[in-house]
């Protein structure tokens, strides 16, 4: 059978004391240290997850701002383009209006020149009539014949020259 002696009993007591001391001074502090380390790691993971979510929110916010900026830029470009088109149309309309005014002015000048030419022609006719009258007087025609020749000459010139201008 088993023989229990005092040495074995003391070894058993020493073993339990050693277990108690190891548990109290070694196992508990190591377990506490491991628990703290696990809590710190879990806290760091939670913090990292919160920062990742915050970064995603900031990314979404910046993407929205970028989209808005692009929309505003396109709107600015569209507005500038429409203003440029409107300005071009205004310039074209003003140029056409100036051309019409210039055309009307030139037509008036032509009409005035026609009137002046007609007046000059009448003056020339009167001068020629006076010259013809002088020649006739020099030939000593009688006055009735002289008047008749002047009137015939004026009528003939009126029909040929002045008729075209009027």
Q: What is the pLDDT along the chain (166 residues), one digit of tens a residue?
A: 556 678 888 898 999 999 999 988 888 888 999 999 999 999 999 999 999 999 999 999 999 999 999 999 999 999 999 999 999 999 999 999 999 999 999 999 999 988 888 888 887 777 777 777 676 666 655 667 767 777 787 777 766 665 555 5
DSSP state of 5: -
At residue 88, the pLDDT reads 93
At residue 162, the pLDDT reads 58
**Is 89 part of a structural domain of the chain?**
yes
At residue 131, the pLDDT reads 75
**Is 58 part of a structural domain of the chain?**
yes
* Structural domains in the chain (count): 1
Rounded distance between C-alpha atoms, residue 121 and residue 93, angstroms: 41
**Is 94 part of a structural domain of the chain?**
yes
> Reduced to 3 states, what is the DSSP secondary structure of residue 142?
coil
At residue 80, the pLDDT reads 93
**Is 1 part of a structural domain of the chain?**
no
Q: Domain range holding 13? A: 6-165
Q: Are 166 and 122 in contact (CB under 8 A)?
A: no
**Is 117 part of a structural domain of the chain?**
yes
**Is 135 part of a structural domain of the chain?**
yes
At residue 2, the pLDDT reads 59
């Amino acid at each position: 059978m088993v023989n229990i002696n005092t040495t074995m009993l003391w070894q058993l007591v020493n073993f339990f004391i050693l277990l108690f001391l190891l548990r109290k001074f070694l196992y508990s502090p190591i377990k506490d240290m491991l628990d703290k380390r696990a809590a710190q790691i879990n806290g760091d993971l939670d913090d990292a997850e919160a920062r990742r979510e915050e970064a995603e929110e900031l990314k979404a916010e910046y993407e929205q701002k970028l989209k808005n900026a692009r929309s505003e830029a396109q709107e600015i470009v569209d507005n500038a383009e429409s203003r440029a088109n409107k300005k071009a149309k205004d310039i074209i309309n003003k140029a056409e209006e100036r051309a019409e005014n210039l055309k009307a002015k030139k037509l008036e000048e032509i009409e005035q020149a026609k009137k002046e030419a007609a007046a000059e022609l009448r003056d020339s006719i009167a001068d020629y009539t006076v010259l013809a009258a002088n020649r006739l007087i020099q030939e000593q025609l009688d006055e009735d014949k002289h008047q008749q020749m002047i009137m015939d000459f004026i009528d003939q010139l009126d029909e040929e020259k002045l008729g075209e201008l009027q």
